[in-house]
Structure 1
Amino acid sequence: MNTRRNRTGMKGFTLIELMVTIAVAAVLLVVGVPSFVAFQRSSELSSAANSFVAALSAARGEAMKRGRQAVVVPREDNNWATGWTVFVDTDNNQQFGGSDILIVQQGALPSYFSTTGQGTAQSSPAYVMFNPSGYTQASDSTFQAATLKIERNDISGTAKTQQTRIVIVAKTGRVRACQPATDTTCTTSAVE
């Protein structure tokens, strides 16, 4: 009697196949991780600029809605990288205090971002203020534009130019974010 035996093929990977797969995965990680980090930080930069634009727009809207001055100030000293506070300034001193109406607060930016203000955004104390008509003004009631530059401080050269955003607040209260690498009107001295 001839019995026929069923041979089941062995299933799985050989050691060589496993090592080749791990080597390919390692190469992909070495190539992909730096690109992912750059992508993530670029996204965070755009998010920070957009958050500042949203804070300024909220301040302008509250100023017009309530018929009072609304202000955006850094959370600590004159350093916008520590975050910002938006409030309705009931005592007209451009500093957040007990009687003021809090609108929104933003936490600190990641440590690989630096910020530089122009106009009232670099004053001491730094602030951006909207009057009840929605115009940007200084504490002496003159209309004044302001800018805030947010850039990565962990890179240099052309990569740094690509990783820079400027938020421009016009005297009229119009707020926009732009990228100096692609927009020739996007400068820290811009007023529109």
Structure 2
Amino acid sequence: MLTLEKGFTLVELMVTLVIGMILITVGVPSFTEMYQGYRAESEIRKVQQYLMFARSQAVSYGARVTVCPISGTSCGSDWKSGFSIFIDNGAAATIDSTNGVTDPIIKQVDAFNSKDFFTYAGSSVSFTPDGLIPTNSTVGTFSYCPGSTTSENSRGVEVSSSGKVRFSDSIINCTSY
């Protein structure tokens, strides 16, 4: 008596594996682009939230609050390595002591992904006690580009002289300033 075995033949398994490998080979690059887009969106939203936080702290404390990448005791230029938010009581854009009290750091933001680019035209952004940007402070766009300086997934946050922080609708390019 012959019994019918249920299962797959070796040829059927090989064809299935080949089709699966072709689909993976075609699909992985699109997942990379999608991942870069999500990462850029997530990071630029964090930047927007930190800037809005700094503005609200300036109003709450009734003092100038500065956002900048710290290099020693003054603001540097490498935004990609992270930045600090601090109450700026003394000289502008400098962590210094006034009457024996050092400018308190409110928040420290970690470095961004080493493969990405994060730029801003100025070395700092300050908010006055009324939430505005001082006339001597740089206004412009924070640019975040995942993977390359001209990525299609680039995102930006604009800071206006009125202190308003919003997402940028313009084409973002992360070439250094």
Q: TM-score with structure 1 length normalisation? A: 0.74
The answer for the alignment partner of 2:108 in structure 1 is: 105
Alignment partners' CA distance in 2, 1:116 and 1:65: 28
Residue 48 of structure 1 and its aligned partner are, at CA, apart by 1.7
Q: Deviations over 1:46-104 (max 9, x none)?
A: 12211111110000000000111111112453111111212222434423468333332
Choose from 12, 25, 33 the match for 1:30.
25
Alignment partners' CA distance in 2, 1:173 and 1:117: 16
Are the structure 2 counterparts of residues 150 and 187 from structure 1 closer, same or farther at C-alpha, using a change threshold of 3 Å?
closer
Are the structure 2 counterparts of residues 18 and 95 from structure 1 closer, same or farther at C-alpha, using a change threshold of 3 Å?
farther
**Partner amino acid, structure 2, of 1:63:** A
Alignment partners' CA distance in 2, 1:105 and 1:28: 43
Alignment partners' CA distance in 2, 1:106 and 1:78: 15
Instruction: Report whether the alignment pairs 1:148 with 2:148.
Output: no
The answer for the alignment partner of 2:131 in structure 1 is: 134
The answer for the alignment partner of 1:88 in structure 2 is: 87
**Partner amino acid, structure 2, of 1:117:** Y
What percent of counterpart residues are identical?
28
Answer with 1 or 2: which has the greater Rg: 1
Deviates most, 32-41 or 145-154:
145-154
The answer for the alignment partner of 1:170 in structure 2 is: 160
**Partner amino acid, structure 1, of 2:67:** V
Instruction: Report whether the alignment pairs 1:16 with 2:11.
Output: yes
The answer for the alignment partner of 1:116 in structure 2 is: 119
Q: TM-score with structure 2 length normalisation? A: 0.80
Are the structure 2 counterparts of residues 116 and 154 from structure 1 closer, same or farther at C-alpha, using a change threshold of 3 Å?
closer
Are the structure 2 counterparts of residues 187 and 79 from structure 1 closer, same or farther at C-alpha, using a change threshold of 3 Å?
closer
Choose from 38, 61, 66 the match for 1:66.
61
Larger RCO, structures 1/2 (Cα 8 Å, 6+ apart):
2
Residue 27 of structure 1 and its aligned partner are, at CA, apart by 0.9
Q: Deviations over 1:134-183 (max 9, x none)?
A: 00125xxx465232222245375xxx3x32222211111100122424xx
**Partner amino acid, structure 1, of 2:119:** T
